[in-house]
Amino acid sequence: MSNHSFVLPKRVSLLEAFFRNISGVYTTDFPNRPPLVFDYTNVNNSFHQSLLMTPKLTSVKKLKFNATVQLVLQNTALIGVENHPMHLHGFNFYVLAQGFGNYDPAKDSNKFNFVNPQVRNTLGVPVGGWAVIRFRANNPGVWFMHCHLDVHLPWGLATAFVVENGGTPESTLPPPPADFPKC
């Protein structure tokens, strides 16, 4: 996602690293935008060599508690166009709009459904297309977002959101249980 191939940490989990403030497990530099704007879904001219060898990183996106988050999920024709069932842990999201081809914010944001948008935690992003989703980051902790085609997971079609604590007991990640397994 955003041309980073996600790698899960080996030593401790993302959530444990967040809770115990362990550095060096993940970085918070998951990019807000992809590195290159191009004709994403054109199968004839979108073969960008520079994008095929993605960096393998454990890069996440940090979110303030209760932030409103908008994601544009844009399929590309790199390797091949495909329907990616994108799944978000920890939240339901609203599907504001979806379509084929490249998302055009000037034109397509007019299609946002603010009246009765679908509520989902998984969305099949259209083949060679895009979807715009929103959620409220009201669940502190670390939440994985990934493609649910199992073969795309080891390829790194994933990232995670680190949602900060909100400052009240109700909006603070509880500690692990007393019988949390140690290995």
Q: Looking at this protein, which amino acid is placed at residue 137?
A: A
Q: How far is the CB of 54 from Cu ion (least distance, A)?
A: 14
Among 4, 61, 84, 146, binds Cu ion (CB under 5 A): 84
Q: Is residue 158 close enough to count as binding Cu ion by CB under 5 A? A: no
Using CB atoms, what's the residue nearest to Cu ion?
Answer: 147
Report which DSSP code applies to 164: P
Q: Is residue 87 close enough to count as binding Cu ion by CB under 5 A? A: no
What share of residues in the chain are helix, strand, coil (percent, to 5)? Answer: 15, 30, 55
Using alpha carbons only, give the angle 41, 150, 85 rounded to the nearest 5 degrees: 45
Dmax (CA) for the chain in angstroms is 56
Of residues 1 and 96, the one with the C-beta less far from Cu ion: 1
Among 134, 152, 153, 155, binds Cu ion (CB under 5 A): 152
Applying CB under 5 A, which part among 54-62, 128-136, 152-160, 166-174 lies near Cu ion?
Answer: 152-160
Give the tokens for residue 116: 């009765």
Q: Is residue 147 close enough to count as binding Cu ion by CB under 5 A? A: yes
